[in-house]
Chain A
Amino acid sequence: MADVAWFVLAGLAWLVVCWLVFVYVSVPLTLVAAAVGLFVGTVLACVGYLRVYVGVEDDRTLRKPASTVPRRAAAPYRYWDNGWPGYLTGQLERDIMSALAWPRRQALTLWVKTRDWAAPRALVLVVALPLTPVPVVFLVAVTAGTYSAWLALAAASEAVAVIPRLIRWAAVAVLRAGDASVRWWRGAAATCPHCLGVTRLPAYRCDPRHPDGIHRDLRAGRLGVWWRHCQCDARLPSTVLRAASAMTAVCPACENLLHEGAGTVPDARIALSGGPAVGKTQLLLSAMAGMTRGEEAVWEPADEDSAAWLHDTGESMSRRPRHEPRPTAEPVLLTLRDVKPHQERYVHFIDAGGEHFSITVRDPALRYLGTTPRHVLVLDPTTIPFVRDRIDPALLSRRHGDHEDSRIADSGTSSAAAEVPYHVLVAQLNRCGAQTRRCSLAVVITKADVLAKQALGPEPDLTRVSSRDLKAWLCAKGLRNLVDMAEHDFGSVRYFLVGAGIEATDPVAPFTWLLNRHRRGATIP
């Protein structure tokens, strides 16, 4: 009985001692431990931030140039450009998140070490039970201090970044709007002479230090406001207008060189349509010659290919017998530029072989038709049955014998056959999503010389033939359907008559009319 009493008495004494130690030692020490823990946590968080800002964590934090990161679907190119992202476009948040990693590891290590120390010392813990809150509160305070300080510093960093971000967004909007407005006002675009692709946003080569680097979207934005920092350390302008004067423009699709100033100067395209051997090439040659030759010529070939085509085709077609250029699978692009040194502008003529217009199936070679509102439809009057039947067969055979072109034998001689190229043109425009009512069509009737010799023209004097006369003449010769469709489908239609040896018929007139109809160079229907 006495043993039990002594045991109870000892237990009570132990409880009293524990109580006293808890009240007079543990509580004050816990308060101190909480304060020290909060301080240590704050220091850890600060060190975490400083480690990131000094660059210790760069290997896993720093977002580097990445040309394989996809962009949103509406972006002009699928992937981001190969330049450094701006600090305020996500890098700040990455730094903030990264700043938590090191202090969290330290706090976790403290918990683990304390647990590892306490696990085999259960008896010590029981004896020192009143003092247990001190280390526990210290650890909790360190953890709370770490997260609290990290959060407070994150809020401070974000608050500091608010005004620079607003300024940045405003500057990006102003630069983009200014850049795009000037180019829109000029009617600027870039037509690739190799793949015939048309873009308002050319790509630029990062030469000379990084000749393989192609920058496809040089606009102010995520990768820089006024300048862009390329992976190769080159500093690039962030607007197309500035880039055009400092860098080499290339096609964003095929990466071939574009014309000088492409994307920043007026750029117009005129597409020719017509069946085989209707005289498209002859018309184009005459028009280009008329535009580029003479003292008052305002155009000149913009590249060697165009100059060579003009020279070679002119020579081959002036020989007897005439050799029509062999039709190519891909359309031919010929480019002229303004001769005035400070008034750069380009006009492109796109001519596809007549074979592409003789079948109404989808033809990838005609994809270029959807890139311009200026269209020329070339009609050979000798394919209209009403006219053909009245032409002296000897003249026709002599004239065709002048050509070494087997396509003539295959050309159709019904009104419906004469309409096929028109149907192909309209079908292709619809397929491309072009609005034909926004397009203009110059219907060019070739071989006026044949009509003149056979007195089959709209007027005896072909120099006085107007567009209205030609329209009435076409209707009278069985092409009313074609005329009605053209007037219904296209916003503006005009008729022209051209032919070899007829001085009054100007082959340049259809092209001049189209260029005047759509002065804004890059208009895409």
Chain B
Amino acid sequence: MATYQNSAQVLKGLLDATVLLTLSKKDNYGFAIYQEITKQMQGDADLFRESTLYPLLHRLESKGFVDHYWKPGDRGTDRKYYRITKSGKTHLKERVEDWHKVVRVLKRTILAEEGVTK
């Protein structure tokens, strides 16, 4: 449980960028975004819970990084589609740069010493 919570904390910041990256490819609706992300995460998909997706999308929307529109879905009812905004694209670019930095630092520090901790 503790391991899950620790991983979730680390992933929280990553998920913002992951959702924005998914939407930067094309406009999409909640379930399809979830599927796309779990597919990308492969074996670690269980770390991304469905209950976190919608609060995350709504938070991104309130920050102006995404907006939405309604379009008829396969079932005939309207479906909510999200799309990335210009400020969302800028934010994504900044986050990706941040993550590159994190990876570089990790490689030079913790991951470089991996053999010692094993």
Real binding pair: no
